[in-house]
Structure 1
Amino acid sequence: MPKLWNETIEAHRGAVREAILDTAAALVSEQGLLSLTMSHVAQMAGIGRATLYKYFPNVEAILHAQHDRQIAGHLEHLAAVTHAGGDAGHQLEAVLHMHAMMTYEHRGSAMAATMHHEGARQRQDAFIQDVLRRAAETGAIRNDLTPEELANYCLHALAAAAESTSTAAVQRLVHLTLDGLRSKG
């Protein structure tokens, strides 16, 4: 097949996949996780059920793909913070604050609560570990624990943002988490 044809087909497939994911996210937001069915997704996306099944075998696969897309977007935002400059300590603070705010803003989300599967968690861990590693190398934070241990600490501590009552409470949580990362001597 000609290259243009292949590119056009790939673009179409990508657009259909994105429409399916957008539709699923909207339906979950509007009607709840338990109301999501393959028939309803196909109908609302404007495609046939057979077409939908060519992209996803079941609702769970759609939800995992939507969640992966959401996590990728979050990681892009976090990466932008690290590329904005500043020292490693300030980058770490900005990343933790942004992560906590995303957790706070998505609290109660049926999709977030149900779909935090292992692949998404591994990407978050790897990203946070890299930021922590750089901060430890510059002396901005303690270096007596591994980046893996520190990332685990940060992600668990900042998960409490989902229960916070305000953005001010989230900010205090971030500062408490940062205090735990700083060297004691």
Structure 2
Amino acid sequence: MPKIVGSSLADHREQVRQRIFDAFAEAMAERSFDAISMADLAQRAEIGRTAIYHHFPDREAVLVAFASHETDAYVDELTAAIAEADDPESMLRTYVRHHLAAGEKFHMGLGPSLAGHLSEDSRLEIRQHVRAVEDVLRGIVVAGRDAGAFRVEDVDATLSLVHACLNPRHLPPAAIEEFVLRAVGAGGPA
């Protein structure tokens, strides 16, 4: 009989899921998604080879749950940081800084390169979480436009272009931040 960790069955399940997520992140840092097996994840998470299937039916389900978990945590942190800003320009600066910092921490290739490995349902589920991040930026851009702080005609195009600017990892974050702020017609340096 496997040992239950935590104070309750729900606590046990959450702790095991977190160990699986940690194992998944570790494995993704070392190799591609298609080279990861459920047995590998179970071993890294220090659970039985069959026990992992009590939590996830396959590695695609692990990926979707991991991406959802990470995105939820990211959005919570992001909205808390933005709540401290007092104007749209400060909110956008915070968004850009947070995104660039988090990108260094969490970037592990969970983007378009995985699309061929996932079912349509999984891609749609992950896309819903991406939309949660986009909705934060949408709120900032619309608030800035409505307040006259930003010159934005097409909000959807602006969201796509801002996110495209946040992808390069080889550029100085301050240069990216200033470029994004100028692109929406915001004021000078902070």
Give the secondary structure class of the aligned counterpart of 1:86: coil
Corresponding residue of 2:159: 151
Decide whether aligned partners of structure 1 residues 17 and 94 sit closer, same or farther in structure 2, where only a CA change above 3 A counts.
Answer: same
Higher helix share: 1
- Report the CA distance between 1:119 and its aligned residue: 2.5
Corresponding residue of 1:4: none
Matched to 2:48, the amino acid is G
The CA distance in 2 between the partners of 1:105 and 1:10, in whole Å, is: 28
Percent sequence identity over matched residues?
A: 19
Corresponding residue of 1:110: 109
TM-score (norm 1): 0.78
Stretches of structure 1 that go unaligned for 5 or more consecutive residues are 1-6
The CA distance in 1 between the partners of 2:100 and 2:26, in whole Å, is: 23
Decide whether aligned partners of structure 1 residues 73 and 145 sit closer, same or farther in structure 2, where only a CA change above 3 A counts.
Answer: same
Matched to 1:73, the amino acid is A
The CA distance in 2 between the partners of 1:47 and 1:124, in whole Å, is: 33
**Is the 1:88–1:135 Cα contact (8 Å) retained in structure 2?**
yes
Decide whether aligned partners of structure 1 residues 106 and 112 sit closer, same or farther in structure 2, where only a CA change above 3 A counts.
Answer: farther
Superposed, 1:60-79 pairs within 5 Å as: 60-79=60-79
- Report the CA distance between 1:114 and its aligned residue: 4.0
Residue of structure 2 aligned with 1:121, choices 117, 127, 130: 130
> Is 1:137 equivalent to 2:140 in the alignment?
no
Corresponding residue of 2:88: 88
Superposed, 1:167-182 pairs within 5 Å as: 168=172, 170-182=173-185
Decide whether aligned partners of structure 1 residues 155 and 63 sit closer, same or farther in structure 2, where only a CA change above 3 A counts.
Answer: same
Decide whether aligned partners of structure 1 residues 115 and 121 sit closer, same or farther in structure 2, where only a CA change above 3 A counts.
Answer: farther
TM-score (norm 2): 0.76
1:119-155: CA deviations, max 9, x gaps? 2321121111112122222221124333x33212211
Stretches of structure 2 that go unaligned for 5 or more consecutive residues are 1-6, 116-125
The CA distance in 2 between the partners of 1:179 and 1:60, in whole Å, is: 40
Give the secondary structure class of the aligned counterpart of 2:21: helix
